[in-house]
Amino acid sequence: MKCQVTNDILKNALNKILSVVDKKNTRPILSYTLVRANEDNTIEFSATDLEVSARIKIEAIVENPGIFCVNAKNLYDIVRELPEDNIYLDKENDQNTLNLTCKEIHYSLLICGHEDFPHLNFCNESSEFILNSNAVVEMINKTSFAVSNDETRLYLNGIYLQETDNKLRAVATDGHRLSLIDNITDQPLEHIEPLTNGIIIPKKGVFELKKMADTFPGEELKISVDDSFMYVNTDMYSLSIRLIAREYPKYQAVIPNKTSFSMRADKTSFFDAVRRIKIMSNEKSNGVRIKLNKNQMSISANHPSLGEALEFVPITYTGNDMEIGFNAKYLIDTLSNLDDGDINIELNNELSPVIIRSEKVPNYLGIIMPLKL
């Protein structure tokens, strides 16, 4: 194999691959990247930890095609330190070394054959649909903060994706809060059985999917699913994500069918006030107390060893006077992902789930459970 590639292109590709490479060293080959130089003047880099797999294709000048495996982190560490210039990769067919040259810098890297590298699949054409990368980023931003970190409840450790009324719905919850957003698609999704039943994308897969969508803003992503995997493709970037094989809880049960009271507030004013008052809240509960009166809200916190804080925020509210506690962190997480403008908070009493909506994002719904103070 013999090829030439620019430093910047190679470095960016390896940087994307590196986050997929197995860090636990369960199998030595999983710390390697599969390198394939093709006759069409492209080089493919593939990596996997058997849960998430990625393949990046970059443009290069390929004189002789070839395929081999090389330690991914070692190669990235080298390329990162090289000057911005062309890099030459050369491997003789009967040798187990890769010669890397940049200007007057020379490396000889030990490599291994590709036979032991896992076979990777990146497509299931029978269930393919298209989703704009901007929509993918929004769905992840609006829900991922509510994913649970409790590894004893594996079914909550990801984003739930489901087709409902020909909309693609993303849901995340940790049992204390829930975040939901619907994305209207132009394609019929009812025939895709895994989506009808719902799939759970694990946290690492969500991270890689967002990174991929951010790389191609405004472009179309080809997405397909089967019972075990989700596949996402562009011309130059492919992902395969093993799904969480668990049943997602009936999240609809925590969404109130109707609410008695509604409050409207400016998102920025509410958000800033909660951040300020949180400073004086208990470190474990992050509890803040919210009192609702006619067209006025007070937010307060009392720390036994630091003191107390109180702030008033103008609102539109004509319901009964009410006092309700919240985990300030949950409020901040939800509000920080909403656009500026008015938000609506719908509630029944001090103990029932509270709904948060944004007038700028009508397809979004957030739920926070009140905190007993």
Token representation of residue 255: 């969404």
pLDDT at 328: 96
Could you give the 3-state DSSP secondary structure of residue 207? Answer: helix
Phi, psi (rounded to 5 degrees) for 247: -90, 130
Token representation of residue 121: 């699949």
Q: How confident is the model at residue 125 (pLDDT cuts 50, 70, 90)?
A: confident
What class does CATH assign to 125-252? Answer: alpha beta
* Angle CA 173–175–176, to nearest 5: 95
The length of the chain in residues reads 373
Residue 23: pLDDT over 90: no
Angstrom distance (rounded) from CA 138 to CA 317: 30
Distances (CA, A) of 273 to 81, 309, 316: 45, 10, 16
Q: How would you class 3 by CB atoms within 10 Å of its CB: exposed for 0-12, middle for 13-18, buried for 19 or more?
A: buried
Domains 2-112 and 256-368 equal at CATH topology level: yes
Q: Which of 21, 16, 366 is nearest to 210 (CA)?
A: 16
Instruction: Quickly count helices (H) and strands (E) in the chain.
Output: 7, 25
User: Stretch 189-211: mean pLDDT, rounded?
Assistant: 91
Residue 363: pLDDT over 80: yes
What class does CATH assign to 2-112? Answer: alpha beta
The residue written with tokens 């929004």 in the block is 138
Mean pLDDT of the chain: 93
Residue 94: pLDDT over 80: no
Tens-place pLDDT, residues 44-87: 999 999 999 999 999 999 999 999 999 999 999 999 999 999 99
pLDDT at 43: 97
User: Stretch 162-186: mean pLDDT, rounded?
Assistant: 91
Tens-place pLDDT, residues 244-254: 999 999 999 99
Give the domain ranges of the chain: 2-112, 125-252, 256-368
Could you give the 3-state DSSP secondary structure of residue 266? Answer: strand
Higher per-residue confidence, 346 vs 124:
346
Dihedral sign for Cα 110, 112, 117, 120, please.
Answer: positive
Contacts of 13 (CB under 8 A, 6+ apart): 45, 56, 58
Q: Which of 124, 119, 33 is nearest to 71 (CA)?
A: 33
Angstrom distance (rounded) from CA 363 to CA 359: 9
Q: How confident is the model at residue 294 (pLDDT cuts 50, 70, 90)?
A: confident
Residue 228: pLDDT over 80: yes
The residue written with tokens 């860090």 in the block is 23
pLDDT at 58: 97
Q: Which of 322, 332, 353, 347 is nearest to 287 (CA)?
A: 332
Residue 190: pLDDT over 80: no
What percent of the chain is predicted at pLDDT more than 70?
A: 100
Phi, psi (rounded to 5 degrees) for 272: -65, -40
CATH superfamily of the domain spanning 256-368: DNA Polymerase III, subunit A, domain 2 (3.10.150.10)
